[in-house]
Amino acid sequence: MNTTVPLFPQECAFPLLAGDEPGPFEIYNSTGRTPLVIVSDHASRRVPRALGDLGLSPKQFEKHIAYDIGADMITRRLADRLDARAVLGTYSRLVIDLNRQPGDPGCIPAVSDGIEVPANQGLSEDQALCRIETLHTPYHEAINREIASVWRRDDKPPAVFSIHSFTPSMNGEDRIWDIGVLWNRDPRLPLPLIEQLSHWDGLHVGDNEPYSARDLAYTIDMHGAAGGLANCAIEIRQDHCATPEEASHWADILADALRHSLAQPGLHEVKTF
């Protein structure tokens, strides 16, 4: 990557993505048979060529500010083990955060974990709208389509499961959890999942730790809670899932836990809480 911010027209009249660049999402295992849709908002650190490197150094794209380390590998491996469909975001959270409401200042972060993002400074309404319409909206529409497809096929709603990872320390404090289960009002998926995960010796499982889905959970709220579908998200410590071997280990743990959790009575029903 170079370290300059290109001068370019970002308005939606000009395409943000070139024809040979990946689209805004990827559907993995599109014929998966399990009544579950896995999503990974922050799977990639890719930036559209039109945006250069956002004014950041290559080292900064190796950090959590650019993507959820390990999330891509875990998502694909878990989808394989469960034979489930997965929807993955294909561009960096620094370009647009798919787990934020459009209009939220954190959706196109001017500063991330204390690091200023030069190409995100002072965007016009049209420039912000271009990123939303090119990357954010199509990704969430793709999740809706996969949910609808599984629902029509099975004549029952699937569960929605979101995969993230977190830094081992924040603001000078170590985080003791290996994995956190994030949820808001619907306990159907998270509580059995926490119970199953707690059976693994030595595993520190957080209940709405180190983040709480009661504070911020745009994707699972939009695609799960809003429609009465069972849902939750998980956060795994990044220093425990950065290698292919570690990602495979987590996929094994999650697959075992989810097989039990997805079999709970009433899970595949529309319910509001």
Q: Is 173 a residue whose pLDDT tops 80?
A: no
Cis peptide before 210 (omega within 30 of 0): yes
Q: Which of 25, 41, 88 is nearest to 182 (CA)?
A: 41
Class of domain 25-262: alpha beta
Q: What percent of the chain has pLDDT over 90?
A: 86
Output DSSP code: residue 8: -
Mean pLDDT of the chain: 93
Averaged pLDDT for residues 169-183: 84
% of residues, the chain, pLDDT over 70: 93
Q: Give the bridge partners for 158, in sequence order.
A: none
- DSSP letter at 6 equals P
Question: pLDDT tens digits, residue range 14-25?
Answer: 689 999 999 999
Residue 4 has pLDDT above 90, yes or no: no
pLDDT, residue 6, reads: 40
For residue 179, the one-letter residue type is: I
CB 145 within 8 A of CB 85: no
Q: Map out the domains of the chain as residue ranges.
A: 25-262
Q: Which residues fall within 8 angstroms of residue 94, CB to CB, at 6 or more apart? A: 45, 47, 54, 56, 65, 66, 109, 112, 117, 120
pLDDT at 13 over 60: no
Residue 5: the pLDDT is 38
Residue 259, number of CB atoms within 10 A of its CB: 13
Q: What is the pLDDT of residues 126-157, one digit of tens each?
A: 999 999 999 999 999 999 999 999 999 999 99
pTM of the model: 0.93
Query: Mean pLDDT over residues 20-42, rounded?
Result: 98
